[in-house]
Structure 1
Amino acid sequence: MDQQTYNYEKIAKAIEFIVANAKEQPSLFDVAEEVNISQFHFQRVFSEWAGVSPKKFLQYITAGYLKEKIRESANLTELAELAGLSSQSRVYDHFTSIEAVTPQEFRSSGKGLAIRYGYHETPFGNCFLAVTERGICAMAFVDADSKEDQLIRLAKKWHYAEITADQEVTAPYIRRIFSADKKSLEKLPLLVQGTNFQLKVWEALLNIPNGAVTTYQQIANSIGHPGAVRAVGTAVGDNPVAYLIPCHRVIRKEGILGEYRWGSLRKKALIGWEAAHHNEE
């Protein structure tokens, strides 16, 4: 197992334990013992990953904190514009651009398109990444049981494309995606298949700044379909590019994180990690 993946699995297990025992406020020793590593080593690994202590990390995924963040994000467009004025902000709309396939390309299921894919370690476990000359067409977090599922899903969606494993092609994308300084990079283009409604939802997700969260209702309002909350939820769940299209930042209005296509525990890790890094900056 890669060291980064090993560390993430220990961290994820620690987050699960901390959340489950939040009322008892477990000590650093208790958490380290739960994940079966020394207290000193755990403190170093967790702090290097999150930038904060486990105790402070927990504050960023509590319902009270998240409800306050929801109130702050009532107007997504305004929030993104304000965040863009800050030199410390990293708004993915400034880092990622979406291109939709044409209706003809959609019908031809990728005919004439060359797709290269690979599996890579990230701060949130292993991921599957697929790219074309026009941009990233798929990204998903995976474990040992779901690695092949993502390839099968890709082959079904892009049925007539030439699909080849090539980690040398995909590795530079991973380095860019998880770079510490995205401001110095050109936009990462995405090439996606989706309905007009799905595209509106995915573009709205790009307006959620790093460290912020919103609700399904707020997304529905922002795209001009306030009554389509359930359809928004479906479109969020159909997001083809994990992390870059930040569907993990959409939570329930009660401040509850809810489910996530790539695991509810990973959603806690993502939101807490982003909030910790954003606030520390």
Structure 2
Amino acid sequence: MTTQENINYNRIAEAIDYIKVNFKQQPTLNEIAASVHLSPYHFQRLFTDWAGVSPKKFMQFMSIQYAKQLLKNNHATLFDTAHETGLSGTSRLHDLFINIEGMTPGEFKNGGENLIIKYSFAESPFGNIIVASTQKGICHMAFFDNEEEALQKLINRFPKATYNQLVDNLQQNALFIFKHDWSKLHQIKLHLNGTPFQLKVWETLLKIPVGDLSTYGAIAKEIDKPKASRAIGTAIGSNPVAFLIPCHRVIQSTGNIGGYMWGNTRKTAIIGWEAAKINSKQV
């Protein structure tokens, strides 16, 4: 799957890597463009079309100082923001429309032998993605570089399930999350296998609004497990649905981006992209 959208994202990812490495030197537009073998004019247009802001503005959203400021501002009200914002117009928060249903032991028994899973491959602003669903909701969503490996990882999670490569309404609605107008988003239903602790952590992540950030320690306090930061990190790292459960919004307390199952560059891109969308609506 090598379309123009993915080619463009790969170029943006290269530019983000260059900016991350050379951030302290504050590289110029010409220098960033040269790093991805584009003219400054073409690169500026490509980057702005993708991110909605200029490369210079995007660098601000990538900075540790910006991340720290977000964490400071959200320290007291982070988990109230989603409820205070309301659901009016295009500002409604897409996270509030995601509902998690845990799989029963019977549904996951013997490698998911009772599950019928539909799956499809799609594109996103952050590269190719695989999405899979049961009759109850989305059970898997992941970014990938190799289609065969992506499918095998899904099969490894549910080795005895029945698989059909087929797009359904559940998948289509989930993929609409990447569109800019979240006011038209219907409720997304997730059907996940996880321990009660994991499900609680994942549900807590859904309370972090678009464009905001939290830390492992803050999540631990929110679920009344203040000493469980390491376990929180493990649960976040086990998130089976990329982007829908926004584990990318959890960073280190120092402001550093930290790890991400689907790559640190992609995490940086998502954080910057979301910040750009939210800030553009506030202008």
TM bin (shorter chain): over 0.9
How far, CA to CA, are the matches of 1:169 and 1:224 in structure 2?
Answer: 36
Partner of 2:268: 268
Cα RMSD (Å) of the superposition? 1.9
- Alignment deviations for residues 222-257 of structure 1 (CA, whole Å, 9 cap, x no partner): 111111110000000000000000000000000000
How far, CA to CA, are the matches of 2:107 and 2:170 in structure 1?
Answer: 23
C-alpha contact 2:94 2:177 (8 A) present in aligned 1 = no
Aligned-pair CA distance for 1:139 = 0.5
Aligned-pair CA distance for 1:170 = 7.6
Change (3 A) 1:175 1:236: closer
Aligned-pair CA distance for 1:209 = 0.2
* TM-score normalised per structure 1: 0.93
Query: Structure 1 unaligned runs (5+)?
Result: none
Greater Cα offset, 191-200 or 19-28: 19-28
Q: Which structure is higher in helix share?
A: 2
Secondary structure of the 2:189 match is: strand
Partner of 1:37: 38
Partner of 2:74: 73
Query: Structure 2 unaligned runs (5+)?
Result: none
Aligned-pair CA distance for 1:269 = 0.3
Change (3 A) 1:29 1:168: farther
* TM-score normalised per structure 2: 0.92
Aligned-pair CA distance for 1:33 = 1.3
Partner of 2:181: 181
C-alpha contact 2:138 2:171 (8 A) present in aligned 1 = no
C-alpha contact 2:96 2:207 (8 A) present in aligned 1 = no
Greater Cα offset, 105-114 or 126-135: 105-114
How far, CA to CA, are the matches of 2:34 and 2:89 in structure 1?
Answer: 40
How far, CA to CA, are the matches of 1:77 and 1:25 in structure 2?
Answer: 34
Greater Cα offset, 195-204 or 77-86: 77-86
Partner of 2:228: 228
Amino acid at match of 2:26: Q
Task: Map 1:143-158 onto structure 2 (within 5 A).
Answer: 143-144=145-146, 147-158=147-158
Aligned-pair CA distance for 1:119 = 1.8
Task: Map 1:17-56 onto structure 2 (within 5 A).
Answer: 17-56=18-57
Partner of 2:99: 97
Partner of 1:247: 247
* Alignment equivalent of 2:111, drawn from 82, 96, 109: 109
How far, CA to CA, are the matches of 2:238 and 2:175 in structure 1?
Answer: 25
- How much identity, in percent, do the aligned residues show? 46
Amino acid at match of 1:17: Y
How far, CA to CA, are the matches of 1:227 and 1:44 in structure 2?
Answer: 47
How far, CA to CA, are the matches of 1:86 and 1:268 in structure 2?
Answer: 29
- Alignment deviations for residues 64-116 of structure 1 (CA, whole Å, 9 cap, x no partner): 11011112222432122223367553423322111111122232432332211
Amino acid at match of 1:114: I
| Stretches of 4+ aligned residues off by more than 4 angstroms | 85-88, 167-171
Partner of 2:196: 196
Aligned residues: 279
Change (3 A) 1:171 1:199: closer
How far, CA to CA, are the matches of 1:204 and 1:84 in structure 2?
Answer: 18
C-alpha contact 1:114 1:161 (8 A) present in aligned 2 = yes
Aligned-pair CA distance for 1:168 = 7.0
Greater Cα offset, 127-136 or 152-161: 152-161
- Alignment deviations for residues 11-55 of structure 1 (CA, whole Å, 9 cap, x no partner): 111111122122222221221111012222211111011111001
* Alignment equivalent of 2:120, drawn from 94, 118, 121: 118
How far, CA to CA, are the matches of 1:76 and 1:4 in structure 2?
Answer: 33
Partner of 1:134: 136
Aligned-pair CA distance for 1:267 = 0.7
